[in-house]
Structure 1
Amino acid sequence: MKKVAYDCDVLVIGGGIVGLSTAYALTRSAPGTRVTVLEKEQGPATHQTGRNSGVIHSGIYYRPGSLKAKYAVRGAAEMIKFCAEYGIAHEVTGKLIVATERAELPRLHALVQRGRENGIPVRELGPAQIGEYEPEVRGLAAIHVGTTGICDYGAVAAHLADASGADIRYGAGGEAVHIDRRPELGVAVRTADGAVVRARALVNCAGLHCDEIARRTGDDPQMRIVPFRGEYYELTRPELVRGLVYPVPDPAFPFLGVHLTRGIDGGVHVGPNAVPALAREGYRWPVVHPRELAGTLAWPGSWQIARRHWRYGAGELRRSLSKSAFTEAVRRLLPAVDPGDLVPHPAGVRAQAVLRDGTLVDDFLIREGPRTVHVLNAPSPAATASLPIGREVARRALVALRGA
């Protein structure tokens, strides 16, 4: 067999929190493993990781036995401990999930049961008790989840990058433009600056571009990333909200609805509204990438989503285009708000995996190929669960190394 000079043992594509957690786990579980991380931006955590609301999720929403439930419950405790150990800003705030209509009460009670099945302490509240936690919030009933918190995920990612000991390449040197995988030899990646990185195994944590990276390796991911932009406002009167306030989610969708989140900086974020993005990094309506948009429209699952969920989508679009409509949604929870209290805040884009039949993949999705591990769906609570997810992806990468 041809002798290959490898630049590293494991090459990770993607410098978000999952990719960096994987690098961190690799160097700790297998000391001496040479890890390189490629990130096309100028620093870590500039997309999904750096643009979320900073919530440490408890795991109450997720189906018992699912990877989301397993990793969120474990990950929340680990994230709080990690932040405390390394001096990263965080706080265990608890949160309210509030029913504002009678039709939501059965779903709220179902969440109580789900929380108990997932081992999460939950307190049920009546209308008067809601005011004990949030004086300005109104509702028919609520539940209080005490294990929810907030932190600075950008700082977490930066610490993981420093502590991993990996060779992290940013910018043109971290942008993978061509991948050549040969099961008998390994993986060679050419970057935008013309360099070639050779590795024994590859881990794909490319988030918004993970399906493209999978196809470049020669694997069929059997899904496509359909980007949804999460649009936020910031509350100019943050004193109206003490902590975290959520509506009762619709179980038909993997989105939690417009909620109120007091961040680690003391500001209150309101949102997100979820609308289709016209580019994978389409953080504003004017950002359109024709090739990416054509790819989304060519995927049969995109049309299935539109056909099944057009009413829901129309409501989200209306709130995107009309500030007064967005304010209406906020007033369901916080009646004191008016449009002047809301100022635009930077949006995020969710990398939503969609199957050919239009199924919105709800759980984490990790698939493997020869010498490769692909993380193909890592939505919320991926940041919360990043430490245990990183260990699992690292475990699979080490199996691929041993197999090679």
Structure 2
Amino acid sequence: MLYDYCVIGGGIVGLATAMRLIERRPGCSLVLIEKESALGLHQTGHNSGVIHAGIYYPPGSLKAELCRKGAQATKDFCTANSIPFEICGKLLVATNPREMTRMHALFERSVANNIEVERLSADELAEREPNVAGLGALLVPSTGIVDYRKVCQAMGGTIERLGGAIVLGTKVTGIAEAGAAVTVSSAGQSWRAQKLIVCGGLQSDRLATLAGLSIKHRIVPFRGEYYRLPAAKNDIVRHLIYPIPDPELPFLGIHLTRMIDGSVTVGPNAVIGLGRETYSKLKVNLADLLDYLAFPGFWKTVLQNRGSAVSELRNSLWKPGYLAQCRKYCPSLEIGDLLPYEAGIRAQAVNRDGTMVHDFLFEQTERMLHVCNAPSPAATSAIPIADQILDRMAIV
């Protein structure tokens, strides 16, 4: 059979792409292939579950636009599919004078991005969040929380209801573009399609190489370690509590996140992962490890960010150091409050010169489009990202 379209990847970006495609082209034949036994198991299923408002991104940028559109699209999708979500709001807390200066600049950026935001004094912050310490804060009331795995399940259901096929537990071992079709192979099975879209996440560079594309980047896995607070402290905060971002650091930093199930997590830090899909701290994937150790860009990015790398590793290995980061905002936390919680792994594209790719990265041929980097907040922005992908492939 020759399918009209094939999508590789059952994370939220791949699912949103397949869903929007079959909505744009009713009656088309479509197959989505996922190597795991369920949808949304990796980056999508291990993130903090936040529906972001887009406060961090430069005004007029694609990331700002996609996040703003995506937040509303996600809420609309959840409402239409009876998926529980909550608009709890986010507080970005400044804990020193330097962060207060950055906070004021971030307020101006938010206004330019047409995002509703309110400045709070220290007293106003204490009134809203008695357990949070800070010199001031920005309140972003539109930020929400959701279980993105449930979003993925609903997207999968929509795809199948509209006539698409989803194939689980199938690892792609070959991609060949020739003539009027692309052939996708796995052990003992293959599919032919007129157009292929690859949303491979943590495996995106390998799938691009498998398809014969010459890429200059590599995916380096960054492990984000979280802790969960005891159930007795589920009411310790009413909002999401985030830091004021430091532009000199590659990642955002530790924050307190209310989850849709009522629990509260703290994290994540950001350390080099010992495998692309190894969530246990003690587990090592030797092939993954050797892959990025042999990539010159890895060593350059470590050198360029050596200060934060040492700090993050120290806090990973030394729990009191991790606690100190949490207590910047929530001083009542104790070491016993940091209970085990599953880590997440971020697929960070790194160039050969060591620069981290913080924007979208696509590789495209006549019949294929590979999403090589879909930066945070890709889960929030998944539906408009899907529309961007389809526009690039002239699928209207």
Please state which band the TM-score falls in when normalised by the shorter chain.
over 0.9
1:365 and 2:361 correspond: yes
Q: How does 1:15-26 map to 2 (within 5 A)?
A: 15-26=10-21
Q: How does 1:143-292 map to 2 (within 5 A)?
A: 143-165=138-160, 166-171=164-169, 174-182=170-178, 184-192=179-187, 194-236=188-230, 237-292=233-288
Q: What is the identity, as a one-letter code, of the residue corresponding to 2:224? A: G
* Counterpart Cα distance in 2 of 1:315 and 1:197: 47
* Counterpart Cα distance in 2 of 1:234 and 1:297: 32
Q: What is the identity, as a one-letter code, of the residue corresponding to 1:331? A: R
RMSD: 1.3
Q: What is the identity, as a one-letter code, of the residue corresponding to 2:285? A: H
Give the 3-state SS of the residue equivalent to 1:225 in structure 2. strand
Q: Percent identity, aligned pairs only?
A: 46
1:294 equivalent in structure 2: 290
Give the 3-state SS of the residue equivalent to 2:108 in structure 1. helix
* Counterpart Cα distance in 1 of 2:61 and 2:244: 20
Q: What is the identity, as a one-letter code, of the residue corresponding to 2:174? A: H
For 1:1-46, what per-residue CA distance to the aligned partner results, in whole angstroms no more than 9, with x for missing partners? Answer: xxxx51x111111000000000000000111221111111101000
Answer yes or no: is the 8 Å Cα contact 1:23–1:394 preserved in 2. Answer: no
* Counterpart Cα distance in 1 of 2:119 and 2:360: 29
Cα deviation for residue 135 of structure 1 reads: 1.1
For 1:129-184, what per-residue CA distance to the aligned partner results, in whole angstroms no more than 9, with x for missing partners? Answer: 1123211000011100111111111111100001013211011xx210111222x2
Cα deviation for residue 257 of structure 1 reads: 0.6
Give the 3-state SS of the residue equivalent to 2:39 in structure 1. coil
Q: How does 1:67-146 map to 2 (within 5 A)?
A: 67-146=62-141
Q: What is the identity, as a one-letter code, of the residue corresponding to 1:167? A: A
1:323 and 2:351 correspond: no
1:307 and 2:323 correspond: no
Give the 3-state SS of the residue equivalent to 1:72 in structure 2. helix
* Counterpart Cα distance in 2 of 1:169 and 1:52: 24
Answer yes or no: is the 8 Å Cα contact 2:249–2:308 preserved in 1. Answer: no
Q: What is the identity, as a one-letter code, of the residue corresponding to 1:326? A: Y
* Counterpart Cα distance in 2 of 1:108 and 1:51: 28
Cα deviation for residue 254 of structure 1 reads: 4.1
For 1:310-337, what per-residue CA distance to the aligned partner results, in whole angstroms no more than 9, with x for missing partners? Answer: 1101111011111111100000000000
Q: What is the identity, as a one-letter code, of the residue corresponding to 1:22? A: T
**Structure 1: tracts of 5 or more residues without a match:** none
* Counterpart Cα distance in 2 of 1:222 and 1:31: 37
**Structure 2: tracts of 5 or more residues without a match:** none
Answer yes or no: is the 8 Å Cα contact 1:116–1:122 preserved in 2. Answer: yes
How many residues get paired? 391
TM-score (norm: length of structure 1): 0.94
Match of 1:64 among 51, 54, 59: 59
* Counterpart Cα distance in 1 of 2:316 and 2:258: 22
Q: What is the identity, as a one-letter code, of the residue corresponding to 1:211? A: D
Answer yes or no: is the 8 Å Cα contact 1:10–1:397 preserved in 2. Answer: no
Give the 3-state SS of the residue equivalent to 1:358 in structure 2. coil
Cα deviation for residue 65 of structure 1 reads: 2.4
Cα deviation for residue 97 of structure 1 reads: 0.2
1:387 equivalent in structure 2: 383
1:353 and 2:356 correspond: no
For 1:190-226, what per-residue CA distance to the aligned partner results, in whole angstroms no more than 9, with x for missing partners? Answer: 113x101111111110100001101111112321111
Cα deviation for residue 398 of structure 1 reads: 4.4
Q: What is the identity, as a one-letter code, of the residue corresponding to 2:222? A: F
Cα deviation for residue 374 of structure 1 reads: 1.0
Give the 3-state SS of the residue equivalent to 1:31 in structure 2. coil
Cα deviation for residue 110 of structure 1 reads: 1.4
* Counterpart Cα distance in 1 of 2:155 and 2:43: 16
Answer yes or no: is the 8 Å Cα contact 1:66–1:363 preserved in 2. Answer: no
* Counterpart Cα distance in 2 of 1:222 and 1:368: 14
Cα deviation for residue 265 of structure 1 reads: 0.5
Q: What is the identity, as a one-letter code, of the residue corresponding to 1:63? A: P
